[in-house]
Chain A
Amino acid sequence: MPILWLILIVFAIAAVGFFLGRSRALHSSGGDSRGLHSLPFYYGANVALKTAVPAFGLMIIWLLVQPLYVNSQVSEMIPDSAVKEGSSRSLVMAEVRRTASGLNNAIAQGHLTEDMVNNARADITDMTQRLKDAGQVVTAEITQPVLRAAQSYRTLTSTGYSIMNVGVILVALLGAGAGWLQTSSEYRARNVVEQGVSVLLFGAASIAILTTIGIVLSLVFNTWEFFKLYPATEFFFGTTWAPSFSGRGGSSSLGIIPLLWGTFYISLVALLVAVPIGLFAAIYLSEYASPRVRSFAKPMLEVLAGIPTIVYGLFALLTVGPLLLGVFGDEGLGWMKAGTAVMTAGLVMGIMLIPFVSSLSDDIINAVPQAMRDGSYGLGATQSETIRQVVLPAALPGIVGAILLAASRAIGETMIVVLGAGAAARLSLNPFEAMTTVTAKIVSQLTGDADFASPEALVAFALGMTLFILTLGLNIFALYIVRKYREQYE
């Protein structure tokens, strides 16, 4: 029975429970809803919640735990002799799983029957051939132990699912029964339902947090693996970035400094573009623009924030790069060799960041109380004196926060760098030279065909971890500043 059916059945039980609970509550007060503690709806919802929540909880836990259990059971069945030299038990298990799903598909297509599959003395070569005929992916000749394991994998899994189906439906029925029995005019269904809802909301919030923790943990473990293979001091203080994909370990030099420098340099150029333009735009929009201009210009500016970064990347590659090359290249000033350079990526990234800076700063400038401006005008200050000497100083902490948020955005940006700045990791001061950033290198380290256990691939996690800590630090700092600013007027 597919999971979808199970879900629908639980919902059906919950729906029936809802109406039964509701009518039982009304019945217990003699049909007058005023005699009830809560509205009839809450009694129904109480039964429905008690039906669905434990049932779905059991289902989710079962779906998470069963594969682990089946895997460990089956993997015990494989004798050590079946694990070939240079291979590992997990690779054999992958083959077992592939065979099991191949068998399933073959049965579904009618090439094999249930009996043939479960027959312990099935002919190996025949089975392999039949699987191939059924169009299933079979990497090698299936060996006896693998077939055995696949067979028991299938039976264990399907028994597991059958038990789960029965269990979930049973729990749903029990929950509905319990909720229904509780229902009486005295029962505080409203409080129980509201508590249940708050638990659901808590669950939703914790999923976000747990995911973050999961991401961080996976980064941490892989980084740890990397540092077991590659010395941390060389990673953090090495000044060359030259990964080799042929060799193992020692032949690559994986120093992060050139990448950090590229990241820093490109972000700096981007901020030099974005901060003045964004800030001036914000000042114009919040202080000088008439409501009509504002209602038109602000959304226009925010459209910039909605453009996918790959489009900015194309803009950098096809428009800004050649344009800069025309001015600073060999035909012009002769400082620039190719269209991809720190300057190209930085300028385009700066354009991308303008709406971040302007939109946040605009909100912050608007949050400066009108009383401040009135006070200044009342002393005979002009509008620009008021902005320079009262509004901006009052908004400064918030503006700094906005700039830091934009900076962390710049540090994490990838596509513009890949297309605009080139791929060469270089320590140089010339902004017209190609450089690359941490993010761009993470992409190139993981998109090759490198073995995931090699330092060349694992370095991506160490780079990601470094980047994560950098942007996290910046974000926390920015939030701290923004929060401190908020306290000033409330």
Chain B
Amino acid sequence: MNDMSRVERQVDTKEIKLECRDCQVYYGDNHAIKDVNVDIEDKTVTAFIGPSGCGKSTFLRCLNRMNDTIDIARVEGSFKLDGEDIYDKRVDPVQLRAKVGMVFQKPNPFPKSIYDNVAYGPRIHGLAKNKAELDEIVEKSLRRGAIWEEVKDRLHAPGTGLSGGQQQRLCIARAVATEPEVLLMDEPCSALDPIATAQVEELIDDLRSRYSVVIVTHSMQQAARVSQKTAFFHLGNLVEFGETGQIFTNPEDPRTESYITGRIG
């Protein structure tokens, strides 16, 4: 937790990117998320922590309507991205997901070349007018994913041939390539070794300068290292939401304190 001082320095009010009010999620009869209110700030890393099955991943998947792909999931409440409800009938979930990118727990590069993996999003959304522009987007994204130097000589090698950490950074580069405004990360480091984790964490800190990042993590050290805001979920409820430094040093709720000191979870 030697980064705590740096984290605390970053605390200042920013405009709200994503405003979530009275959110409920049901999986069939199971009430998975209860009355959650969270404000995701722009150019900030927000961490969701909590024990397994507490609903943090479910809530994350509401933010880009990924729960739409699950038949039995039902989402209620208001989610406003820049003041617009993302669950409005006029909003195309496909367009929304281009704006709210997502990186998954396990690196999931497509069985294509590194280049095609990154070019996938821009091609689908027609972001490049010609090949040169596409090349530029791919290079820029790979640089932002902090993986350009490692792969620039083998862009046409399969993405599945990279190491776990490289694959995850490739997936981040792939998500960045569509120029999202918010980047959701669902336990992005849980399948990685400590060195790769350190690289990805460093990358997340860099990404903060452009995007609003939401990260779900099981590691409280990681939340403390990379985030400015932390939300603690327990049994589908949002127990506490506030500055990371405050949550980890002086939590208000006894449940939060129990969790971060290792007594529950």
Number of A-B contacts (CB under 8 A): 70
Q: A378 vs B63: C-alpha distance in the bound complex, in angstroms?
A: 11
Q: Tell me whether chain B's interface is mostly helix, strand or loop, or mixed.
A: helix
- Chain A residue numbers with a CB within 8 Å of B99 are 380
**B110 in contact with A390 (CB, 8 Å):** yes
Q: Which of the four size classes fits the interface of chain A?
A: 10 to 19
Instruction: Identify which of B97, B108, B175 contacts A372 (C-beta below 8 A).
Output: B108
- In the complex, what residue of chain B is closest to A381 when comparing beta carbons? B124
- Chain A residue numbers with a CB within 8 Å of B96 are 380
**B106 in contact with A371 (CB, 8 Å):** yes
- In the complex, what residue of chain B is closest to A369 when comparing beta carbons? B108
- In the complex, what residue of chain A is closest to B184 when comparing beta carbons? A378
- Chain B residue numbers with a CB within 8 Å of A385 are 124
Q: Given that A380-B97, A380-B98 are known contacts, is A375 also in contact with B121, CB under 8 Å in the complex?
A: no
B58 on the A face (CB < 8 A): no
A187 on the B face (CB < 8 A): no
- Chain A residue numbers with a CB within 8 Å of B114 are none
Q: A379 vs B96: C-alpha distance in the bound complex, in angstroms?
A: 9
**A379 in contact with B108 (CB, 8 Å):** no
**B121 in contact with A380 (CB, 8 Å):** yes
A394 on the B face (CB < 8 A): yes
Chain B interface residue count, CB cutoff 8 Å, equals 28
- Chain A residue numbers with a CB within 8 Å of B95 are 380
Interface residues of B in 174-206 (CB under 8 A from A): 174-175, 178
- Chain A residue numbers with a CB within 8 Å of B69 are 373-374, 377
B64 on the A face (CB < 8 A): yes
- Chain A residue numbers with a CB within 8 Å of B98 are 379-380
- Chain B residue numbers with a CB within 8 Å of A372 are 108, 110-111
**B104 in contact with A380 (CB, 8 Å):** no
- Chain A residue numbers with a CB within 8 Å of B124 are 379-381, 385, 389
A67 on the B face (CB < 8 A): no
Chain A 95-133, CB-CB to B under 8 Å as 1, else 0, gives 000000000000000000000000000000000000000
- In the complex, what residue of chain A is closest to B111 when comparing beta carbons? A394
Chain B 86-118, CB-CB to A under 8 Å as 1, else 0, gives 000000001111110111101011111000000
Central interface residue in B96, B98, B120, by most chain A CB within 10 Å: B120
Chain B 154-169, CB-CB to A under 8 Å as 1, else 0, gives 0000001000000000
B116–chain A nearest beta-carbon distance, Å: 9
- Chain B residue numbers with a CB within 8 Å of A381 are 94, 120-121, 124
A211 on the B face (CB < 8 A): no
- Chain B residue numbers with a CB within 8 Å of A378 are 64, 66, 97, 101-104, 175
Instruction: Identify which of A379, A389, A390, A394 contacts B97 (C-beta below 8 A).
Output: A379
- In the complex, what residue of chain B is closest to A291 when comparing beta carbons? B71
Instruction: Identify which of B104, B110, B120 contacts A394 (C-beta below 8 A).
Output: B110
Q: Given that A371-B104, A371-B106, A385-B124 are known contacts, is A379 also in contact with B112, CB under 8 Å in the complex?
A: no
Interface residues of A in 361-375 (CB under 8 A from B): 369, 371-375
Q: A125 vs B101: C-alpha distance in the bound complex, in angstroms?
A: 101
**A488 in contact with B111 (CB, 8 Å):** yes
Central interface residue in A372, A373, A377, A389, by most chain B CB within 10 Å: A377
A57 on the B face (CB < 8 A): no
- Chain A residue numbers with a CB within 8 Å of B111 are 372, 393-394, 488
Interface residues of B in 54-80 (CB under 8 A from A): 64, 66, 69
Besides the known contacts A378-B175, A379-B101, A379-B124, 10 further A-B residue pairs in the complex with CB atoms under 8 A apart: A374-B102, A375-B104, A375-B108, A376-B110, A378-B103, A379-B121, A380-B99, A380-B121, A389-B120, A488-B160
- What are 18 A-B pairs at a CB distance below 8 A? A371-B104, A374-B102, A375-B110, A376-B110, A378-B66, A378-B97, A379-B97, A379-B98, A379-B178, A380-B98, A380-B121, A380-B125, A380-B178, A381-B94, A381-B120, A381-B121, A390-B110, A393-B111
